[in-house]
Structure 1
Amino acid sequence: MLIWIFVLCVIIIPTSVLWKKRWLLYHAWKIPGPLSVPLVGSAFLLSATKDNFFDLVCGKLDSWRPVIKLWVGSQLYIATMRPTDVEKILTNCLNKSPFYENFNDIMKDTLLTSKVSIWKEHRKMINPSFNLKILNSFHDTFVSYSTEMVKYLSDLEGGEQTNLFPVIWEKTLDAALATLTNVNPQVIKERRRFITVIVKFEEILIQRFHTFWLLVDFFWKLSNLHKEHKEVCQTGHAFLENILLQEKKQYDSDDINDIQERVYQELVSVLPNMENSPTQEEINRLDYLERVIKETLRLVPTVPFILQYADEDIKCGPYVFPAGSNLIVPLVLLHKNPAIQWEYMVVLKAKSFFEVVYRNLDSYRPVIKTWIGSELYITTIRPADVEKILVNCLNKSPFYENFNDVMKDTLLTSKVSIWKDHRKMINPSFNLKILSSFHDIFVKYSREIVKYLLDVGGTEQTDFLSVIWEQGRLNTIIAEEYKSYESEDRNDDTIESKRFLRNLTKLNRTNQITREEILEETNFMLMAASETAAITINTILTILGIYSDIQERVYQELASVLPNIENSPTQEELNRLDYLERVVKEILRLVPTIPFIMRYADEDIKCDPYVFPAGSNLVIPLVLLHRDPEVWPEPEKFDPDRFLPDEVGKRHRCSYIPFSFGVRNCIGLKFGMMVVKVMVATILRNFKVTHNLQVSDGDNGLMLLRDQIVIQIGEELDGMVMIRSGDNRQGVCPVKFLQEV
């Protein structure tokens, strides 16, 4: 019997799977591709060493051009090198391939990896951080780090040979930190370690990709490589946590500074003459200052709890607070109830007893009961409950009897019968007319505080609270409730407020994005902004070391646009470096920073004569797309003039897509081009690059590609940068161009 059940399972389960994938299989059958076997697919053909994996993959794809299918396990991958297909895919298929799930441990739900629903929300939030005005504001920062790079190279003169790539990467990471965040890179001590983490992460994934059985999650999670992968991700997250902590400190500090500045500007507007004391009418016009005071009292109320005694049952939602119970309103928790959408949240740093009390109350929010001896205490932070308690329960809790020795039967502590009489008697002393008459007294003592502060300026530290207390101890101020003013946010038009991490931090305050999502997006953005820029800069210097005639043309353009070698390039001057831009584009054609773009087909995509079926993974191999001989004559030849305007107009717009295409393209396209142009222009204006590799136009010299998530030139090149001084060359600085850290 069991044998028959087993046989039926063996027949039914595969048949069911095949039936569900029948549409996928039907169209896949029509697309050319290598041999595929059950369970493994074509993955066994990709088994290779780390050194030749990339060459093997490119070779397989190239041999079946322009369209090829590959089965990897049960996943269908279709690669195409036809620009018209590429445009259809990148326009219609916005979901990324399941392949990107391999990055989930270090950057899940980022612009690179997330499902389209999440990507749309995140892209909408991040877009303002990459508008042209923001990018132009980064120019001086890029120039600063480029100048540091030049100084570093100059200091190498006559010294030992140094690997240049880690230095370039560290400078691009510093530039990314300084522009995408408001964090001073020098505060982050382990920047070099983060670079090492990125490299190790990529090496582990590459090792997984070229060991086909590790593509199966079951075997992957059992492997030592997976354990190492987890440790690397944890190290990377620790680095990012430090950045987010620094950003939060800076953001909170800027919040306070901005608010203080707004208070000051209001005071200057209402009280233009510094010598004059404010009148009551002027005080009433200080709307923003009043909101600041109210917000301060929300965050730091002067009393921690309100305690009332229930003379009768109080019905609050699903609960009844019974007669005889003590009802507690914890103001700190009530005022920080996240359900009420407070925008600015400041952590209360209570000490000892209060810290313990708040922590216990917070853990049972919104309603908690506590027995202290025979007394029942019920705590709530729901505003509706608070209203019922304070309207219906006028007697204070027996807790206030602890104050009887110093203030028995006062407005604070008395039974309701005494309180009513006292309140009735005292009320006239606090009407608006009486309070207005106190104005000059308050002004007098305020001026005494100012005078005291001026007198102690530059001397030893002083207890400020005691000064304020001393001046105000005779004056009990009871605030009237004035009209409510709608709270205004800080000025959102400032460049600082729109920087990538600052912008996300602000959105986190209004619960539009979680802290975990910020961590992941920051990780992705720093990796993308620093690593790809560093590799591109290093590749440009390497290739220009091969093509000395092109390097000389770049230098002549730089000398023409930037005649004074001491001056840093302005944004306007950078925009005039047409030939340098063509050089950068040609290098990104030959050596794009990423080897493939992958999308997931949510629906059938018709690309004559094939249909790429829904459920398939669509692959765009950039190295082959950018070297298609039908589009690029002599595709292996290095020729920056391919990007002259007339030449560009002859090609399909998707024949060259180093930053992807369509709405889900690279958000940092302009950012990346700017940092690359600034650093390359600054370096080449000061140095000539040479090394030991020379190739002729017919050689396949630029296929020296290394097996990485991002493409790098992989041969170790001994070289030098020669210091330029006008038209003369003085001094030799030995370097290596090996892209390892």
Structure 2
Amino acid sequence: MVCRNKSLPSEGYRWRSHRKIITPAFHFKILESFIDVFEKNCSILIKKFEQEVGKNSFDVYPYVTLLALDIICETALGTEVYAQTNAHSEYVESVKDMCRIIMERTFNPFLQNDFIYKLSSIYRREKKALKILHNLTLSVLQTKRKRLLSNGSLANQDECLGIKKKLAFLDLLLQATVDGKPLSDTDLREEVDTFMFEGHDTTASAISFILYMLSKHKDVQEKIIQELNMIYADDTSRSCNHADLLQMKYLEAVIKETLRLYPSVPLFARQATEDIIYENTLIPCGTRLSIFAFGIMRDPDLFPEPEKFDPDRFLYKTRNVQFPYAYIPFSAGPRNCIGQKFAMLEMKATISKILRVYEILPAEPVHELLLSPETTLKSANGIHVKIEKRKYALGTKINAQTNRHSEYVKSVKFMCELLMLRVFTPYLHSEFLFQFSSLYQKEKKALKVLHSMTESIIQQRTDDLKTKSPLVNDEDGIGIKKKLAFLDLLLKSKLEGSNLSDREIREEVDTFMFEGHDTVSSAISFTIHCLSKNPHVQEKILEEIRSICGFDRNYSFSYTDLQNMKYLEATIKEGLRLYPSVPIYGRTFAEDIEFDGILYPKGTIAIIFAYGMARDEKIFSEPEKFDPDRFLNYNTTNQYPYAYLPFSAGPRNCIGQKYAMLEIKFTLAKFLLNYEVLPAIPEQQPILVTEATLKSANGVNIRIKRRNFMT
């Protein structure tokens, strides 16, 4: 709640005593209990936004206003008003009406006179609206007061379940006293009404302007996404918690920079409580001073390049030392906004939730704001943006784990099975015969799905690269490198002059996708099988992982962390020695070669049996034994440089082997941190089959047990 200049229409002792009562309501423990209220209501907003996906533009402000009203009612009154799902209820319409009436009276001199105002139709509208608003507040208040009188307290614990309940702002006020006496119903109603009106309109303004600025600055939006990815890792759909919100440093800087440019309350007042001499001018007691926050925060003496949207200026807290009152979106001094921490948490929860689901784009045609200082800063022509569902495979997510039956996932699976079938079915080798089979039609359908997605992404990423979004991997303002997908690098190369065609790019991506997922899944599966049979190895890995991250189940491993996992890497290498993902492959002689007195002419296909070579006892002692230690001090490469070749060798070796090792390390580290791997019951030995990659005909079966926190 980005507040105005005061929290009560009161002076002196009364204001101070009430402020003292209100302050505990914003203790961080109380604020932490409201996170699930933010989360629940933001989820409703996300669903409401779905109807706007794909449109050229829409006004975000009406949506965000209803969100803010839902949140403020539940946190202030402890009552749900369902503003987002019932936008035309009497209560919601009355809130809207009162906001309009306050604005009309503020900017119409005639209506500021109470006598004239009471003769107007607006006054009758106000009475009707206030009756509806006050009736709800008083109804809730009386119910809670009765409970307080009968139970002796508004306990925040469910007696039956022992679950803590949230204490609303009103609950805390009901238990407070001034000079030993409880607040009157009128005092309580005024406090709650103030909190509600100042808390929903100002926050709605702030969130709307933040979304607008993000639509104009894709680079800033991407930095926020990078930060969110670090916090949520792979679990992007989980609810946020208080700790998550505190980690969002860059998002906080974005919010602060938006509030600098578009303060929810651009102008507020203070009254001099004593005579003041300022620059040799006497300002008498009682003088009302207007503070133009909007102008102060665009002063180039305080903020260099003041019209530039630059969140980085708030990442370092050294600039406001000389001017402590330069940044005042929440006002300042004793009468500053008491709810600013509440507001920051609400804005972080809302913006982060939206950005995890939607990409915010500029409206089409471009929308320019017409600022209008009403009770809060607004835009007379709305705040329009465009949204699209956020994508992530080839730089885009396909959500294979959560949507395994999607057309894309099914097509990938089918193509892998078809490739295997054609390799091991001689008559299907013939293109002529294959085209008459039912498999050919299925292949066409699957390839259409796969190629359509790849080509769509290629086009989208090409457009981004050519226009508004350069694909660079420079460090950003908070030391986070932007990710360049494999596809981005190919496109960048093409635009910089290479002669790659779109077809060649698509073929490269398809190769990377098919070879990159099936081989890695094979490696991970067989390594986990080996660990289930070797608990002592598993314990050594766990010890190594915990030396890096302790007992934090949700720890997000860095590149350096993965590099330090030496024993895990040795385990993976030993797993690949016994179960190489590609157990057999071929090479064609590019020239005549003589070997052991035999001439092999150019064009001869040589078959390399990697599976057998890696189990040769002349090269690896006790070859059937699973022993990761052999790779901690691996010195056989000098004698047999091509003895270990799960990634092939020579110029045509696996170009993605470092990528694969990082992926396997990360997956196993995360998995073993949370689960103990045990042998299946009854024990099952894999029945190896050579398909496109090494697999087990009877699956790779294990048991898992969730680790206790300290074991």
TM-score by length of 1: 0.48
Greater relative CO, 1 or 2 (CA 8 Å, sep 6+): 1
Looking at CA atoms only, which structure, 1 or 2, has the larger radius of gyration? 1
